[in-house]
């Protein structure tokens, strides 16, 4: 059965097509995405403005046409943080459906964390023991921990790299004062969730998912994506601190010249690094392993578990 997964995130609209089978490895046979940056289209009242809606509809319609071309038997379309937090969410969803034919399911933050955790658990298996997972998106940060496939605790915080960049940084590069104030804000937001996660017990494996973590690991010496998904990649706290000191003094255009940093994300990598560093510090993690699977794989795995016709 060919499944299409249409992921409307805060940074991109991303379509993955997979030939799925029970017990099989969900390997994409087609992968398409386009930059969206939805959080930049939220107005002062938190509503997605007309320009953002038009861009979203165009991208979703293009993805839908591609899914038809790829002969997907089913398309699972969902949206995450930026649409979730939009004050005019229902209006946006209705308009997208009317003009593109696609009805987006808005995942709650907890659902996002739970599905990402499922993907991480399947990747590492039962032998990994207790896992703690961190995922930095454009609009939110998801945190989860557990010993089974469903986490015991799962949190979603509005600490996405794109959201924080848009809300906090007004110069390029950001001022040292703004960075320090943002650090304090992130620490305060993380304090209670981090304590609850630590109360669950010591994690045998700490994991990072998302493009932000992959980029940070690459910038601190991890293997490039061309080496394949099964190469072990790690990110250390000391390496991350050194990286922040380096990239926080650079402009977005200069950061885009660094190997592993895409031009559409170079402006938000500093905020993403600050969230990663604060999260690891709050949870007492000196090292995390980078998992190639995340939310989209979790959605696919959940669908396969329900049975394929």
Q: What would the pLDDT profile of 138-148 be if each residue is shown by its tens digit? A: 999 999 999 99
Say yes or no: 66 and 131 in one domain: no
SS3 call for 115: helix
Tell me the pLDDT tens digit for each residue of 115-153.
999 999 999 999 999 999 999 999 999 999 999 999 999
Contact (Cβ atoms closer than 8 angstroms) between residue 297 and residue 119: yes
Say yes or no: 159 and 52 in one domain: no
What is the sign of the dihedral through the CA atoms of 110, 300, 17 and 102? negative
Q: Is 129 left (phi over 0), alpha (psi -120 to 50) or beta?
A: left
Tokens of 163: 């959201």
- What's the pLDDT at 60? 97
Domain boundary among 48, 73, 106: 106
In a domain, residue 212? The reply is: yes
Domain boundary among 56, 76, 106: 106
Q: What is the mean pLDDT of the chain?
A: 96
Q: Look up the domain containing 69 and give its range.
A: 2-106
Task: State the total domains in the chain.
Answer: 2
- What's the pLDDT at 307? 86
Overall average pLDDT of the 10-23 stretch: 92
Confidence label for 24 from pLDDT (cuts 50, 70 and 90): confident
Say yes or no: 173 and 56 in one domain: no
- What's the pLDDT at 25? 85
In a domain, residue 74? The reply is: yes
Say yes or no: 146 and 290 in one domain: yes
Separation CA 95–CA 54 (nearest Å): 9
Burial of 219 (0-12, 13-18, 19+ CB in 10 A): buried
Overall average pLDDT of the 201-208 stretch: 98
- What's the pLDDT at 309? 65
Pairing of strands 2-8, 74-79: parallel
Confidence label for 23 from pLDDT (cuts 50, 70 and 90): confident
In a domain, residue 102? The reply is: yes
Tell me the pLDDT tens digit for each residue of 155-183.
999 999 999 999 999 999 999 999 999 99
Overall average pLDDT of the 237-241 stretch: 98
In a domain, residue 111? The reply is: no
- What's the pLDDT at 78? 97
Checking if the pLDDT of 29 tops 90, the result is no
Confidence label for 92 from pLDDT (cuts 50, 70 and 90): very high
Tell me the pLDDT tens digit for each residue of 215-237.
999 999 999 999 999 999 999 99
Confidence label for 27 from pLDDT (cuts 50, 70 and 90): confident
């Amino acid at each position: 059965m060919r499944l299409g997964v249409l992921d409307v995130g805060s940074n991109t609209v991303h379509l993955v097509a997979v030939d799925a089978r029970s017990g099989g490895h969900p390997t994409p046979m087609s992968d398409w995405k386009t930059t969206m940056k939805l959080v930049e289209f939220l107005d002062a009242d938190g509503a997605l403005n007309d320009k953002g809606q038009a861009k979203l509809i165009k991208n979703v319609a293009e993805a839908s046409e591609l899914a038809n071309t790829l002969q997907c038997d089913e398309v699972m379309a969902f949206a995450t943080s930026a649409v979730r937090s939009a004050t005019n969410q229902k209006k946006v969803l209705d308009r997208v459906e009317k003009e593109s034919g696609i009805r987006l399911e808005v995942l709650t933050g907890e659902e996002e964390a739970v599905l990402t955790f499922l993907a991480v658990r399947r990747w590492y298996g039962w032998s990994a023991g207790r896992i703690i997972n961190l995922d930095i998106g454009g609009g939110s940060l998801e945190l989860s921990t557990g010993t089974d496939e469903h986490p015991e605790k799962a949190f979603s915080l509005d600490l996405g790299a794109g959201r924080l960049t848009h809300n906090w940084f007004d110069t390029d590069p950001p001022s040292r004062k703004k960075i320090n104030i943002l650090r304090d804000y992130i620490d305060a937001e993380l304090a209670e969730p981090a304590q609850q996660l630590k109360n669950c017990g010591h994690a045998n494996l700490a994991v990072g998912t998302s493009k932000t973590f992959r980029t940070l690991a690459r910038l601190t010496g991890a293997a490039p994506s061309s080496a394949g998904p099964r190469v072990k990649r790690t990110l250390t706290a000391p390496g991350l601190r050194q990286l922040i000191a380096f990239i926080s003094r650079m402009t977005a255009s200069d950061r885009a010249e660094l190997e592993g940093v895409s031009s559409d994300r170079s402006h938000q990598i500093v905020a993403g690094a600050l969230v990663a560093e604060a999260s690891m510090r709050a949870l007492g993690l000196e090292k995390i392993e980078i998992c190639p699977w995340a939310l989209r794989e979790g959605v696919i795995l959940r669908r396969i578990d329900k049975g394929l016709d």
